[in-house]
Amino acid sequence: MYSANAVFDAAQAIRPYLTDLLAVPMAQSMDRQLAMLLEPDGRVSRDEKLLDLLQQEAMTREWLRLYVEEQRPADQILPILRTYYPLLAKTSKIQSPRYVCPVASCHRDWYRQTVAQAIPHCPIHDVPLVRDSKVGS
């Protein structure tokens, strides 16, 4: 059994990887549900629900196991899973939306991993980055 803290921690850590682990509709659905459960005013028995949610799908269950039991860093788990499950590399993946500095000569860019992330400012020009219309949906 996983401790509540470990599950909570894993639930936050796994979110940027959901679109790599799961088919897109499931990844989006799970991300929304995780976001709700991770709210500070989460409902009673939130940790059990987080655990249930992450264990619904084989890929996120395996991710959780590697993260909590084997203490793998979040950014190393995807490559590990891809060697165990070669099919994972072929699942459809939405590209993370790319944001760019609106100053034409500036090449600063940034990829939004989850909708929870605020869009940063360009550190050079101090203007908000804008979505690059050439990429993504």
Query: Phi/psi at 62 (nearest 5 deg)?
Result: -70, -40
**The residue type at 8:** F
**Which is nearer to Zn ion, 85 or 111 (by Cβ)?**
111
CB of 6 to Zn ion, least distance (A): 40
Q: Return the number of the residue (103 or 130) whose C-beta is nearest Zn ion.
A: 103
Beta carbons within 8 Å of 13's beta carbon, 6+ residues apart? 67, 74
CB of 117 to Zn ion, least distance (A): 18
What angle in degrees, to the nearest 10, is found between the helix axes of 24-37 and 4-14? 130
Alpha carbons 4 and 115: distance in angstroms, whole number: 25
Separation between Cα atoms, residue 12 and residue 35, nearest integer Å: 9
CB of 112 to Zn ion, least distance (A): 17
Written as six digits, the tokens of 86 are 């070669």
Binding site for Zn ion (CB under 5 A): 101, 103, 106, 108, 122, 124-125
Classify the C-alpha dihedral 80-81-84-90 as positive or negative. negative
Considering the complex, what minimum distance in angstroms separates the CB of residue 82 from Zn ion?
Answer: 34
Nearer to Zn ion, 1 or 104 (CB): 104
Q: Which is nearer to Zn ion, 119 or 124 (CB)?
A: 124
